[in-house]
Amino acid sequence: QQQVKQSPQSLIVQKGGISIINCAYENTAFDYFPWYQQFPGKGPALLIAIRPDVSEKKEGRFTISFNKSAKQFSLHIMDSQPGDSATYFCAASMRAAGNKLTFGGGTRVLVKP
């Protein structure tokens, strides 16, 4: 059972454009929703995270929008740069389950200069 579904699988954006990645979850017990960035040959690194009592969180060029009723959340990357080219994973976890992360399938982002 895929508990976190992520789309699109890949996207290409011009430098300066906006990248938007969407995720949907099924388990309403999830209480923490992080986004991770992964470069080839590296482990995932936390980018930004949100809790379900907040509808939006912004850190620099990265914004999470969260819709609890729709069980959806999204990552917006503003002013995309070539250095943002990476694979992005949404994830979800719950304290009651030891905070183990359930990941989406990933989105490969390519920012063209």
Among 25, 85, 93, 111, binds other proteins (CB under 8 A): 93
**Long-range CB contacts (within 8 A, 24+) of 93-96:** 93/30, 93/31, 93/32, 93/34, 94/27, 94/29, 94/30, 94/31, 94/32, 95/31, 95/32, 96/29
What x/- string results for residues 19 through 48 when contact with other proteins is judged by CB under 8 A?
A: ------------xx-x-x----xxxxxx--
Which amino acid would we find at residue 13? V
Residue 11 or 101 having the CB closest to other proteins: 101
Positions touching other proteins (CB under 8 A) are 4, 6, 31-32, 34, 36, 41-46, 49, 51, 89, 91, 93, 95, 97-106
